[in-house]
Amino acid sequence: MHEMRKNKDAPVDVMGCNKLQDDDADPKVRRYQVLISLMLSSQTKDQVTSAAMMKLRTHGLSVPSILQTSDKKLGDLIYPVGFWKLPGVGPKMAHIVMDVAWGELTGIGVDTHVHRICNRLKWVQKPTKQPEDTRKAVEKWLPRDKWREINVLMVGFGQQVCLPVGQDATNA
């Protein structure tokens, strides 16, 4: 997988949540931006999330600025992101934001790509139905020093090689 991803040219490599925040911003603002990018990324292509984040950053992406912005304006800024009204932050987002925003490794961020690939490669003892079950199964055997890299590595692999239909990771 590392060899197939050596060019690091998948959308996640240039537009993932670790690339969309303002690195020069105050640490609290930067962490907030990481969280927002993750929340917008749910079921959304990286290109769409990136465009929405750039519009938000231009508008002013900080808690005070967003609190002063109407829902209508926010909707316009992040359009065409479609899932922004969904509530909450789940385990995947929580683990990724803790890693990217705080530098604390609390677990593997398992999204649809990681879940699919881990099951196809049989990295889980028995097939899992939910990403959280996949995370727990993979964390049991994958060395902790590999957890930080596995999400971006596998998301990129899933974006370019092991697609939801068609190419199978076991035959790539």
The domains of the chain are located at 1-106, 107-164
- Catalytic positions: 92
pLDDT mean across residues, the chain: 92
CATH domain 1-106 topology: Endonuclease III; domain 1 (1.10.340)
48-101, pLDDT tens digit by residue?
Answer: 999 999 999 999 999 999 999 998 999 899 999 876 666 677 899 999 999 999
CA distance 99 to 130: 22
Query: Which long-range CB contacts under 8 A does 94-100 form with residues at least 24 apart?
Result: 95/135, 96/17, 96/38, 96/151, 97/17, 97/31, 97/34, 97/35, 97/38, 99/148, 100/17, 100/18, 100/34
The pLDDT value given to residue 125: 94
- pLDDT (0 to 100) of residue 87: 65
pTM value is: 0.81
DSSP string, 140-172: HHS-GGGHHHHHHHHHHHHHHTS-SSS--GGG-
* 151 vs 63: CA distance, rounded Å: 27
Q: What are 126-143's pLDDT values in tens digits?
A: 999 999 999 999 999 999
